[in-house]
A and B are shown apart, each in its own frame.
Chain A
Amino acid sequence: MEQLQLKKVDIIFGWDEKVTPIDVYDKTIKKSADSIILDMIDSGLKGRGGAGFPTGLKWKFTRNEDSDAKYVICNADEGEPGTFKDREILDRVPEKVFTGMAICAYVIGAREGYIYVRGEYNFLLKSLQKKVDLFNQQLAERKSDFTIYLRSGSGAYVCGEESALFESMEGKRGEPRNKPPYPTVSGYNGKPTVINNVETLVYTCEICRMGSEKFKSFGTFDSRGSKVFSVSGDTPTPGIYELELGMPLKDFVEEFADGDAKAVQIGGASGHCVPRKKFNETIIGFEGIPTGGSMMIFNSTRSMYNVLHDYLEFFTEESCGQCTPCRVGCQQLLKGIEAVKKGEKSPTYLEDLKKLTLTMKIAAKCGLGQSVANPFISIVDNFKEEIIY
């Protein structure tokens, strides 16, 4: 496997003043929709929300659907604990996001686009609206019939899940839908929809600007390009960093931790906890541990019991509650580790709970319930003593 070194880059926030986002739009829509899709596929861009679905394919599937209406939705419901990069992007370079949406709309044939902003980011809305208006005006001047609208979420973590987000936008309870059908076939209002997260859309804009060849030169074979990371926890330098994908976790820890890191939680509460002894062998990227961008560093002063407990409390509350494995499973895990800690259940009960998370992983309806196994098993396995005693 290729081994990269940690490399900071500055693609997204590094402004090339000579080329504005709307210039990128103008240049790109001179090409045919199919060739834009080919560029996207060639670039190897995978969704930056965590699931990593190839963006070009998503656009292609939606383009191929026959429908009177199609939508582009920008998922700005960034709710993963420890993640705050989308906010930064929307604050600093929103035009690039709009441009990504407009290009996508051109490709798939959409007239409406929505940015679904999480309720907690409502303070961004006012300034964002001004910028959206300006951009819409620029589109109108170009005879584009595409318009972008802002929608505010109501502050449920699960609404970041695509289908729950559609339900929420349709004025219903934010509960994930059954799949199939997938959004490319039946999304918002039951119409074919491309839903990409903020960061993915920014990269589509960048790929159109720099070309897929250039983009491909960043990262590794499996993980093309770079990615924005929110670094938090026990670090002297918390913040937002754009790094090439495919770096070893060891390098990351050397760069950002305080010298005493015992674990890194990759991908927020729903991600994996990597203990010190595995820093060397862990790659951050689709060939290793993919991440939505949250990197939380824990040093030896932290109780991993508390960390897990906090995560489980979070899931217990943020589960939408419709499906059994997740609604009840989360509560059992939380109460379960409490009972073990208090000695009301024997430590072997942790094995029963691990089996339960395996069921949650395959039987829960959406990614929320499915992913609780990640932190649970990785923390329980690697820090068992801290959980029991």
Chain B
Amino acid sequence: MVNLKINNIPISVEEGTTILDAAKRLNFRIPTLCNHPDLSVAGNCRVCVVEVKGARLLSASCATPVSEGMEVFTNSEKVRIARKHVVELLLSEHNSDCTKCFKNGHCELQELASEYRIGDHVFLDLVKAKDKIQDISSPSIVKDNSKCIRCQRCVRTCAELQAVSALAVVHKGNHQSISTFLNKPMNDVVCTNCGQCINRCPTGALTERNYIEEVWNAIYDPRKFVVVQTAPATRVALGEDLEVETGTRVTGKMVSALKKMGFNKVLDTDFTADLTIMEEGTELLTRLKKAIVDKDETVKLPMMTSCSPGWIKFQEHMFPELLDNLSSCKSPQQMFGALAKTYYADKINIKAENMIVVSIMPCTAKKFECNRPEMRDSGFKDVDYVLTTRELAMMVKQAGIDFDKLEDDNYDSILGESTGAAVIFGATGGVMEAALRTAYEIVTGHEVPFTNLNIKPVRGIEGVKEASIKIKNTVPAWNFLEGVELNVAVAHGLANAKKLMEAIKRGEANYHFIEIMGCPGGCIGGGGQPIPTSPEIRRKRTEAIYAEDMGKSLRKSHENPEVTEVYTDYLGTPLGHKSHELLHTHYKVRKRY
């Protein structure tokens, strides 16, 4: 233990603790900008400087470990002046038109500026005209250099959590900036559109492309029938942007708000999550049969999940040689769009060309996904607009809805029913768990051998998780799987995915099935979720997801009655002709540079 004093109050903390954390324990808040709980320490913004008695220099409290006998002052005259200078300098390099900024009201820089009451520009304006041109090349990410404070959080996110390094620091001094390879537009580089950088950017320099106006226009257009689908992970996070406590399930309120906003039908992506399990589970079993019974060596195992569009693009860039291992299933969002504009349009007697499908997603990469040229199997763009959880929150506010006071409402039918298995798609390991609940039962006729269906080994925050399930007492059709040890792995965050892919390439991984989610924590930590994010916040959302699962009467995808109905009515069988046409897709090799 190390003994020190902070603002004259003695405290003892473990060796290696930073001054910042030690101060936090005494409830002294030291402002930070470049620091983030998910990232390595940079110590470059200098907002968190403190005075250490006897030292010539101020110390960056985020980057300085405590030492014995240290006397720290977090708010001395020198500190105040320096901190104010730092904020003034940042603002002088910053295009502060807050009223137009998507980050207005959620911005760490704005908060600091207001805390220190930095009024008229103290220093000269240094914003360069060329930086004021936003990069809107990507359907997912908007980059606005004039709002960048060069904290490098995005750079660390992209490299450390995502192993992509689409963003990098370039040049030095007054020319230093955050840029892409050869300063190419965001849409032309390896960026996976995961949006993790957005979640960690303290300002409005990185935001999602927002489609709020387009969606309002569709709602107001009397000729359009506007259908909205909501992803599993939005219901446990939306509240955070609407004054509800983190980790609260707001499913019913969300549905209610969407109806009040004027969407014609409020449906659930969870429905197609269940459908995905049917298709993907069958695909896995088919591959296993071909590999084990038919000894077909062209069959690619392990099979990898394909619901996370950031992960898909990552693989297309970084591991194109493994593309055949990807499940051919479209993501639940795209399955939904394809079914909505065919089967559903028919059912409710609406012309597909008059239907607008909007998705509410925790994900920014979904905006890219819905614009992929192959996603038009209904004959139209299957999904028209994707809104992030954050955009929905903003629309709820614009609509003047007092969210907290809303009564719960239910999803419309059909394409509105879902099971607990679909809900857990929102957390890392969820797709795996849902798939196992169904596949195991198909193969053996009885439930997975875990208490309450909760497959604990694939849950949790570990970067890469593994499990093995021995298949016993198979039904006759699947008896070639008798005694087979099914090896599965789960990874979340692309840096972890990369580790897994490299192990596979080296031939060191003997898995049958792998679930990969592009974002840390899975969709609950998606790039479109409310900001801020931290391990603690993601933990609370995850708990809410599993609570929602436990609260459902149906918890296995194959028990979803509407899913059964859609097969009987329309699709035939999983992997059948119609499903193939509407619910499956293919991938494309992309260059790294």
Indicate whether A and B interact: yes
State the A residues within 8 Å of B (CB): 156, 158, 173-175, 178, 180, 315-325, 327-332, 335-336, 339, 345, 352, 355-356, 359, 362-365, 370
Determine the chain A residues whose CB is within 8 A of the CB of B57 once the complex forms: 362-363, 370
Determine the chain A residues whose CB is within 8 A of the CB of B169 once the complex forms: 173, 175, 321-322
For B83, give the chain A residue with the smallest CB separation.
A363
Q: Are B46 and A321 in contact (CB under 8 A)?
A: no
Query: A244 CA to B166 CA in the complex, in Å?
Result: 53
Q: Are B171 and A178 in contact (CB under 8 A)?
A: no
Query: A368 CA to B174 CA in the complex, in Å?
Result: 14
Query: A328 CA to B58 CA in the complex, in Å?
Result: 18
Query: A331 CA to B92 CA in the complex, in Å?
Result: 10
A362-B57, A364-B46 known; A321 vs B171 contact (CB < 8 Å): yes
Most buried by A among B56, B65, B171, B173: B173
Q: Are A332 and B65 in contact (CB under 8 A)?
A: no
Query: A339 CA to B125 CA in the complex, in Å?
Result: 12
Query: A356 CA to B171 CA in the complex, in Å?
Result: 24
Select which of A158, A175, A332 is within 8 A of B92 by beta carbon.
Answer: A332
Select which of A180, A315, A317, A365 is within 8 A of B46 by beta carbon.
Answer: A365
* Chain B nearest Cβ from A388, distance in angstroms: 17
Select which of B82, B126, B173 is within 8 A of A362 by beta carbon.
Answer: B82
Query: A319 CA to B173 CA in the complex, in Å?
Result: 4
A180-B64, A325-B89, A332-B124 known; A363 vs B173 contact (CB < 8 Å): no
* Contact sample, A vs B, 28 pairs, CB 8 Å cutoff: A174-B172, A178-B63, A178-B64, A180-B65, A315-B173, A317-B172, A318-B173, A321-B150, A321-B169, A321-B171, A321-B172, A321-B173, A322-B42, A322-B176, A323-B46, A324-B86, A327-B150, A328-B92, A331-B93, A332-B123, A336-B123, A339-B124, A352-B122, A362-B49, A362-B56, A363-B46, A363-B57, A370-B57
Determine the chain B residues whose CB is within 8 A of the CB of A345 once the complex forms: 124
Query: A30 CA to B124 CA in the complex, in Å?
Result: 62
Determine the chain A residues whose CB is within 8 A of the CB of B41 once the complex forms: 178
Q: Are A329 and B78 in contact (CB under 8 A)?
A: no
Q: A319-B173, A327-B174 given; name 4 further pairs at CB < 8 Å.
A: A174-B172, A321-B172, A325-B89, A363-B58
For B47, give the chain A residue with the smallest CB separation.
A324
Determine the chain A residues whose CB is within 8 A of the CB of B81 once the complex forms: 355, 359
A317-B172, A321-B176, A362-B56 known; A328 vs B93 contact (CB < 8 Å): yes
Query: A322 CA to B126 CA in the complex, in Å?
Result: 16
Within 8 A of A (CB), among B162-199: 169, 171-176
Does B106 have its Cβ within 8 Å of any Cβ on chain A?
no
Query: A324 CA to B82 CA in the complex, in Å?
Result: 11
A173-B169, A178-B64, A362-B56 known; A331 vs B43 contact (CB < 8 Å): no
Does B85 have its Cβ within 8 Å of any Cβ on chain A?
yes
Q: Are A178 and B46 in contact (CB under 8 A)?
A: no
Q: Are A316 and B44 in contact (CB under 8 A)?
A: no
Query: A316 CA to B126 CA in the complex, in Å?
Result: 13
Determine the chain A residues whose CB is within 8 A of the CB of B42 once the complex forms: 322
* Chain B nearest Cβ from A72, distance in angstroms: 27
Q: Is the interface of A mostly helix, strand, loop or mixed?
A: helix
A355-B81, A359-B82, A362-B82 known; A327 vs B60 contact (CB < 8 Å): no
Q: Are B86 and A363 in contact (CB under 8 A)?
A: yes
* Chain B nearest Cβ from A155, distance in angstroms: 11
Determine the chain B residues whose CB is within 8 A of the CB of A317 once the complex forms: 172-175
Q: Are A325 and B63 in contact (CB under 8 A)?
A: no
Does B152 have its Cβ within 8 Å of any Cβ on chain A?
yes
Does B90 have its Cβ within 8 Å of any Cβ on chain A?
yes
Determine the chain B residues whose CB is within 8 A of the CB of A325 once the complex forms: 46, 82, 85-86, 89
Does B45 have its Cβ within 8 Å of any Cβ on chain A?
yes
* Chain B nearest Cβ from A351, distance in angstroms: 13
Determine the chain A residues whose CB is within 8 A of the CB of B49 once the complex forms: 362-363
* Chain B nearest Cβ from A69, distance in angstroms: 23
* Chain A nearest Cβ from B307, distance in angstroms: 35
Query: A158 CA to B173 CA in the complex, in Å?
Result: 10
Q: Are A323 and B44 in contact (CB under 8 A)?
A: yes
Q: Are B89 and A328 in contact (CB under 8 A)?
A: yes
Within 8 A of A (CB), among B58-109: 58, 60, 63-65, 78, 81-82, 85-86, 89-90, 92-93
Query: A335 CA to B124 CA in the complex, in Å?
Result: 7
Most buried by B among A322, A324, A325, A359: A324
Determine the chain B residues whose CB is within 8 A of the CB of A364 once the complex forms: 46
Query: A296 CA to B85 CA in the complex, in Å?
Result: 32
Q: Are B63 and A322 in contact (CB under 8 A)?
A: no
Determine the chain A residues whose CB is within 8 A of the CB of B58 once the complex forms: 362-363
Query: A362 CA to B82 CA in the complex, in Å?
Result: 8
Q: Are A365 and B60 in contact (CB under 8 A)?
A: yes
A173-B169, A363-B82, A365-B44 known; A327 vs B124 contact (CB < 8 Å): no
Q: Are A330 and B43 in contact (CB under 8 A)?
A: no
Q: Are B90 and A322 in contact (CB under 8 A)?
A: no
Query: A363 CA to B45 CA in the complex, in Å?
Result: 10
Select which of B126, B173, B176 is within 8 A of A332 by beta carbon.
Answer: B126
Query: A327 CA to B45 CA in the complex, in Å?
Result: 10
* Chain B nearest Cβ from A164, distance in angstroms: 10
Select which of B85, B90, B92 is within 8 A of A363 by beta carbon.
Answer: B85
For B67, give the chain A residue with the smallest CB separation.
A180
Query: A365 CA to B43 CA in the complex, in Å?
Result: 8
